[in-house]
Amino acid sequence: MKIGIYGQFYHENSGIYIQQLLETLDRNKVEVVIEKKFLELINLHDDIDKSYSHFSTFEELDESYDLFFSIGGDGTILKTVTYVRDLGIPIAGINTGRLGFLATIQKEEIKDSIELILNKKFYISPRSLLTIETSPKNDEFGVLNFAMNEVTVSRRNTTSMITVHTSLNDEYLNSYWADGLIVSTPTGSTGYSLSCGGPVITPDTESIVLTPISPHNLNVRPLVIPDNQEVKLKASGREDTYLVSLDSRIHTLKNDTTVIIKKAPFKINMVVLEGNNFLKTLRKKMLWGEDKRN
Task: Give the residue numbers marked as catalytic.
Answer: 74
How many alpha carbons fall within 13 Å on the CB side of residue 267? 16
139 known member of a binding site = no
What are the residue ranges of helices labelled H in 150-228?
Answer: 192-195
179 known member of a binding site = yes
| Cα 149–Cα 104–Cα 200 angle in degrees, nearest 5 | 45
Q: What are phi and psi of 16, to 5 degrees?
A: -65, -35
72 known member of a binding site = no
99 known member of a binding site = no
| Cβ atoms of 259 and 239 closer than 8 Å | no
Amino acid of residue 164: V
194 known member of a binding site = yes
190 known member of a binding site = yes
47 known member of a binding site = no
Residue length, the chain?
294
49 known member of a binding site = no
Of 145, 148, 143, nearest to 132 (Cα)?
A: 145
Q: What are phi and psi of 275, to 5 degrees?
A: 90, -5
167 known member of a binding site = no
Task: Enumerate the known binding-site residues for NAD(+).
Answer: 74-75, 79, 149-150, 179, 190-195
Task: Enumerate the known binding-site residues.
Answer: 74-75, 79, 149-150, 179, 190-195
